[in-house]
């Protein structure tokens, strides 16, 4: 299918042209890459859906931290329970931004409070709880259901790549089982193609259930992303998309393989629509983009619509 029929939310800019030229180069003619080698990997938070002012998963877990603090009031005196109970969530956002600048001190505090929340819960029980969250929760600023907080141009890009023989995977710092229910519904990406941060798992033989343990198996960000890509897929990607410093190893792994690669970096620079503009957590990637060969997507200049069912902006040609 021609790009004009698929990439409807993309303006005709050099960024879109670069994507189309790359796809044509690796899928047609004598230098076409075999279909089995056409692997594309996408970060999720901030790349495929909105992560500001708050990650959807943080929205989910803050409700659990509130409940934990209600049951044990002494918890409310320390982070991250203090942020959850006070409603001042700036500490959480700052912790993520500090992580992308190389300071994980607050992130470790968050992870310590996160890993025990599902202890003993079966994977099916957790999936049902996450499903309920997606049915009822709303984006804290726009009021949209989270199903409508996905970036329509990036969903179109998934379809465009698939139409040209690519197999697309999600590779995110978000927790794997939290993402799986929404990736199928909103991106058309099945659970087996979701790679993310993982809680520990144990097998309950008496109940024939897989259950969560109070541990973190791995945090899928930075250098962990190429490791998990290789362990799950066994191939270097041809195409990678991210939006933060933590995505740089994945982008490098894609660009510096034996086959021609393409690295896309989403830049949130639009203050006129519902997307929140920010550079925090992406400063290193943005500064290095030209030197490293990343193709930068300007939300403001390259997309004529951001979210599903949004009206295209005037400069859509």
- Model pLDDT for residues 181-191, shown as the tens digit of each residue: 999 989 999 99
Name the more confident of 13 and 99: 13
Average pLDDT for 297-315: 81
pLDDT digits (tens, 9 = 90+) for 243-256: 999 999 999 999 99
75 contacts 112 by C-beta, under 8 angstroms: no
Residue 57: band (very low, low, confident or very high) from pLDDT cuts 50, 70, 90? confident
Q: Residue 43: is its pLDDT beyond 90?
A: yes
Average pLDDT for 160-179: 97
Tell me the sheet residues that pair with 201.
212
Name the more confident of 111 and 46: 46
65 contacts 113 by C-beta, under 8 angstroms: yes
- The pLDDT, as a whole number, for residue 313 is 54
Q: Residue 282: is its pLDDT beyond 90?
A: yes
Nearest Cα to Cα of residue 156 among 17, 305, 15: 305
Nearest Cα to Cα of residue 250 among 266, 236, 260: 236
Q: Is the pTM of this model over 0.85?
A: yes
Nearest Cα to Cα of residue 252 among 284, 281, 218, 278: 284
| Structural domains of the chain, ranges and CATH numbers in brackets | 3-52+148-198+217-302 (3.40.50.1000), 56-136 (no CATH)
CA atoms within 13 A on the CB side of 309: 5
Mean pLDDT (the chain) is: 91
Name the more confident of 157 and 107: 157
């Amino acid at each position: 299918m021609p790009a004009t029929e698929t990439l409807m939310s993309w303006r005709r800019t050099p960024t879109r042209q670069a994507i189309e030229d790359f796809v044509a180069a690796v899928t047609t003619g004598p230098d076409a890459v075999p279909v089995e080698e056409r692997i594309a990997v996408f970060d999720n938070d901030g790349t495929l859906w909105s992560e500001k002012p708050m990650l959807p998963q943080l929205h989910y877990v803050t409700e659990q931290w509130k409940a934990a603090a209600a049951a044990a009031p002494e918890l409310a005196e320390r982070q991250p329970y203090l942020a959850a109970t006070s409603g001042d969530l700036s500490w959480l956002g700052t912790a993520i931004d500090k992580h992308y600048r190389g300071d994980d001190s607050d992130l470790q505090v968050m992870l310590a409070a996160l890993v025990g929340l599902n202890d003993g819960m079966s994977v099916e029980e957790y999936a049902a709880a996450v499903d309920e969250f997606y049915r009822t929760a709303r984006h804290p600023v726009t009021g949209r259901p989270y199903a409508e907080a996905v970036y329509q141009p990036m969903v179109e890009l998934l379809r465009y790549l698939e139409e040209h023989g690519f197999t697309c995977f999600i590779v995110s710092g978000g927790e794997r089982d939290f993402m799986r229910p929404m990736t199928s519904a909103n991106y058309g990406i099945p659970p087996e193609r979701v790679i993310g941060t993982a809680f520990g798992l144990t097998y309950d033989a008496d109940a024939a259930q897989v259950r969560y343990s109070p541990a973190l198996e791995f945090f899928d960000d930075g250098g962990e992303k190429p490791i998990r890509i290789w362990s799950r897929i066994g191939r270097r990607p041809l195409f990678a998309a991210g939006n933060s410093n933590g995505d740089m190893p994945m982008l490098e792994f894609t660009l510096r393989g034996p086959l021609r690669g393409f690295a896309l970096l989403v830049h949130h620079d639009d203050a006129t629509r519902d997307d929140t503009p920010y550079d925090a957590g992406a400063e290193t990637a943005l500064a290095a983009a030209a030197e490293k060969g990343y193709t930068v997507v300007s939300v403001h200049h390259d997309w004529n619509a951001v979210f599903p069912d949004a009206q295209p902006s005037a400069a859509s040609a």
